[in-house]
Structure 1
């Protein structure tokens, strides 16, 4: 494995960031090339833990000649966000300089089909140059995985509807409980930008064998050695199934019997009707019925009628819930994958 340290100049004298890129050489030029990154939202760490255990596995495969496809790994994809702390709290989701989500506004092809990337010397904010560089690193790879996590949630993936169900092998290898399928976007997340370029590069539009997804590795606090190893082993098994690593005789996993895969328009964003302290009645992974109380919000502690009950808008599967237990009116409380479409159509991200 070769490690490169790239420098991203900051916007003022004396400021610079390091982007660490690991490259592993495959023995078979026709095998799929792979790009995996983690911590694009810099305060999301389960992907970094998975990388910690995956990298030695891939190094061993490379040394033994079992790595067939070339692999590029970026464990800390956002050194800018990694450096952002305010009064001891890590602010890794949004740029404090521009207030832009680090996983939004990636360059995509314009109406003429041309994608314009910012060069390393472009006179633009460092985060824009970083986004362009990450896309360059992923270019030409038919398999691109962006490792994220939610607040509190089950293991799930976002997948382009066009690539489903052929991407079900990834969901099975990672023991995912759900998949959200999108057919269009408007927020230009990394996954969306990569997919647009994939489609432009695919001969005659043939996307056979392609995989691009945001992998949500449970919740922000689900970071430990056991889960990190499990995720790494799942990713490794997926790469074996895709012919990137020489496979052993073990059969590939299958989707869980209780797996939930639905278009993104089935997602109910349950918002807080009032502000206060949250008492959850359900956890991610549970099924709920229409009208069932999923949470109470304490507005007047100890008083009669001091809580406001929040009902489930329809029957479905609890995908995620808020990690902090104090909430403002209008903030997102839970995500539920409804049995029926929640809205006629939904484009872009579920949250800011």
Structure 2
């Protein structure tokens, strides 16, 4: 299959259609606006429905409705817009409705900026809405990977009856790369016999909601959700890692930032410093176990993010106190440079950080 040059946001839409998405509900916001723009033209041509909602709140509740009827459905936004969707996301998770939600992250808090950021890590991995719930969260580092993960995300959403979140900083949405649209690996998906597709007089109506007025019923529902989340933690962890056994310094980064640290790694190795990299592809579930493979030569771990250091907590949990954890970060749309990462690598390797 030949490759095609595409902008990241447009590739998201094309991947969703490839995955069988039939409905898109959204509201434009920089730097994700090209996703609804693309879908407004391409989705109707593919036999689907695009609708620009009057707000992000309306969009996520339309997703809830279409997903509850058994359709493959997606929405996309950027950081403040995802914040507005949080009530709907927790309702969707509570009602076990599959959908895919794309967040092209920008700087914050509040309206922040329209520049790229990674400061939605807490929101994405801890759940921004109320209650005990989780969303499988993918963090691609290239346009090819976001294409692959969008397609995979629809299958995983249906398999687990759970919303799937895909987070990428705004640079991935705006850059252009060559991508290939591969056929997904076959997966045995359950029938959607729970969906509100009408009864035809043959069965009792299905009810899709997250309301349980009896405490015992809600306890049992939450217990079942927790079992599902444990299953996701056991089976869905994705990461990239190399150089850990001999590394003096281990870099941890995701998304575009992981591409920057790879340049710093090459520069450090040219100076004789051995560097390893851990790149989480799933932010939740976080790849804790790979940290156990870090060798005895390591003097420290350097977490690099476009935030104030939101991933550090997960890194420290994974390290279990074996090594010191340091941070290199930027905020407000600023991007870490290989030179700044290299300087920190040299300090850690020399024991002066």
Normalised to the residue count of structure 1, the TM-score between the two structures is 0.29
Q: Which has the higher strand share?
A: 1
Normalised to the residue count of structure 2, the TM-score between the two structures is 0.29
